[in-house]
Amino acid sequence: MNYRHAFHAGNSADVVKHALLIALIKGLQLKDSALTLIDTHAGCGLYDLAGDEAGRTGEAAGGVLRAFADANPLLGDYRAAVRAVNDGGEPRLYPGSPRFLAQLVREQDALILNEKHPEDAAALRQAMRGTPAAIHTRDAYELWLAMLPTRTPRGVVVVDPPYEQTDERARITATLAAAHRKWAHGVTVIWYPLKDRAAHQRWKDKLRQTRIPKLLNVEHWLYDADQPGIYNGAGLFIVNPPYAFTQDLPPLLEALRAALAPEGHRGTLKAEWLNR
């Protein structure tokens, strides 16, 4: 599956990913000790929802615009983070994960971004001006392992590839296992798109077989029945999520499900432990 983020900026997958990323990092920041935040596939950092790519798909109408139309206060942190790149107004620009992370960085924290694609890396540097981000242009999987263990006591690695390569899931699985051997206490967040339930189940089985403990799966299916050949949802695998995050997760997931359900569908958005 080829999932170039510029074409899908602000869609339902972005809303879930970024709302949960905010909640997870805020849960970690209940402790004062420093965090290193690493984004292995950072992308452009900021997207124009009326631009050629995002405008061609119009997926923001089923994502960020639905979240803004919903009054649920549990989505307030997410809406505030989007407004922060829009001068406090309605979403014209959509922040990628790097801009969400930059808003969350405290004085004691570090932010490391990586984007190998030259044009996207140039756009990322422009989007991150004025932030404390260090930007790399390396192979994402090489950088992931090279940065571990983090220099700070704690850290979060966000892995958010476009899934252009047929072996992407296999590389993620292998690198995650190697990363866990180097950095067993670290937090890792892996985003994925959903198209086919059977293929996704096979990947979950592979991840279970790594025996990595404290591995949480958040899975969002938009439709009540699969729509063949199209994007059906997205989710996250999270290693070592903080306790405060997991305790607050059920009502946040329900708020997101309700806000993002397509007309005529209820959809499902649930979390389950693959390994405890």
Q: Which of 14, 39, 109, 160 is catalytic?
A: 160
Q: What is the token pair recorded at 212?
A: 């990595």
Give the residue among 188, 194, 162, 191 at the shortest CA–CA distance from 175.
188
Q: 41 and 161 in contact (C-beta within 8 Å)?
A: yes
Side-chain-side CA neighbours of 155 within 13 Å: the count stands at 23
Q: Report how far residue 55's alpha carbon sits from residue 213's, in angstroms, rounded to the nearest whole number.
A: 41
Q: 243 and 23 in contact (C-beta within 8 Å)?
A: no
Active site residue 160: yes
List helix spans (H) across 90-211.
97-104, 118-127, 140-146, 168-182, 197-209
Catalytic residue numbers, as ranges: 160
